[in-house]
Amino acid sequence: MTYKGYLVEEIDGSYVGSVKDIDIPEINDGNVLIKVNFSSLNYKDALASSGTKGVVKSYPFVPGIDVAGEVIESKSSKFSEGDKVLATGYKIGMSEYGGFGEIVHLPDNWIIKMPKNLSSYDAMTYGTAGLTAAASVKKITDLCNFNSGPALVSGATGGVGSISVGILSKLGVEVHAITGKPDEAEVLSKMGAIKIIPRNDFMSEPVRALDKGIYNSAVDTVGGNVLAKIISLINNHGVVSCCGNVAGASFESSVFPFILRGIQLCGIDSAESPLDLKETLWELLSDKWSLDLTNQTKTVKITEIDKEIDKILKGEQVGRIVIEHEVWVWKMSTKSFMNQKKLI
């Protein structure tokens, strides 16, 4: 039996994605089969779809690092048929076929049960971007007096940045947002940003090891010299969460912010976070830190992914992209989809 999936293949040196029929795998002990209702498009998915070296081990391959759906078969004591589940990161969409297919076969220690206040669709409006934002903010709330001064967020119109703005604002923090897309200021204001700083303005002055302290905390999603400038502006005992490198993988600073101001620079790797931390973060996103991202989310079918991948690679994406799969009734006895729609 087969399912539909967006399969990326290497053809004459180019990487081409198209929707194809893929064989349903035999389930291994300790694993589950999940009918994917929704996935989301992340920067890493776009890299995998374009054949960027080091993201995917080999092709052909189905990308999609985020999965939200329902267990249709289980060889795990932790999950039963019908369980609503959620999986992000680890090797999903990298060494294991991912959420751009209607079915995924995953080990049970990569999966959590869907929080009761969260639908599959809402989970994917967050996706890995939301999980990374939540991990970044939690590091700040755990380590500093976060609400006694403003916070700075870079790459604020991206998925991680915009959700970080929303969460920090919901916690009562005055948020200043750096963006290379100042024409999207209205979107950031609606997410809760008090001040919008065009990236060119932010970087107009030379970066110093220490500048005037302004911010108690920051979420940096871009890296490079932007991160160096952010560090120089952090108050005593402030925290910077670092989770991206689109502006560069290296930056120049000194020990002074760390030994004279006691600043903490914290790396965020939500993909490989322990499962119990992911459960905590998803519970926060479903409850105390919940955001309505409907107006910042575009929903597409797998047949429409190509143009969205092109946008994200060009830096033109704003907000979130959710991928909606057809939802069919799974007939366990024949391991096939019945030709009848089922409501989510």
68 with 156, same domain: the answer is no
d(Cα 170, Cα 141) in Å, to the nearest integer? Answer: 13
In one letter, which amino acid is 216? N
In a domain, 277, yes or no: no
Model confidence pLDDT, tens digit, residues 126-150: 999 999 999 999 999 999 888 889 9
The pLDDT of residue 344 is 41
The pLDDT of residue 327 is 64
CATH number at residue 336: 3.90.180.10
- Residue reference for tokens 């007939």: 331
Model confidence pLDDT, tens digit, residues 204-246: 999 998 999 999 999 999 999 999 999 999 999 999 999 988 8
Is the per-residue pLDDT at 330 higher than 60? no
299 with 219, same domain: the answer is no
204 with 248, same domain: the answer is yes
Task: Record the tokens describing residue 148, joined without a space.
Answer: 């006694």
Predicted TM-score of the model (pTM):
0.90
Beta bridge partners of 152: 176, 218
150 with 222, same domain: the answer is yes
Is the per-residue pLDDT at 102 higher than 50? yes
In a domain, 285, yes or no: no
d(Cα 157, Cα 279) in Å, to the nearest integer? Answer: 26
In a domain, 245, yes or no: yes
7 with 99, same domain: the answer is yes
198 with 137, same domain: the answer is yes
Is the per-residue pLDDT at 335 higher than 80? no
In a domain, 43, yes or no: yes
Is the per-residue pLDDT at 115 higher than 90? yes
- Residues spanned by the domain of 61: 2-117+291-341
The pLDDT of residue 331 is 54
d(Cα 7, Cα 62) in Å, to the nearest integer? Answer: 5
d(Cα 9, Cα 11) in Å, to the nearest integer? Answer: 6
189 with 133, same domain: the answer is yes
258 with 323, same domain: the answer is no
CATH number at residue 180: 3.40.50.720
34 with 158, same domain: the answer is no
Report the range of poorest mean pLDDT among 12-21, 105-114, 243-252, 298-307: 243-252
- Cis, bond preceding 115 (omega within 30 deg of 0): no
In a domain, 281, yes or no: no
Number of domains in the chain: 2
In one letter, which amino acid is 14? S
137 with 237, same domain: the answer is yes
In a domain, 18, yes or no: yes
Residue 207 buriedness (CB in 10 A; 0-12 / 13-18 / 19+) = middle
142 with 183, same domain: the answer is yes
Among residues 267, 283, 302, the one where a domain terminates is 267
Report the range of poorest mean pLDDT among 22-26, 72-76, 229-233, 318-322: 318-322
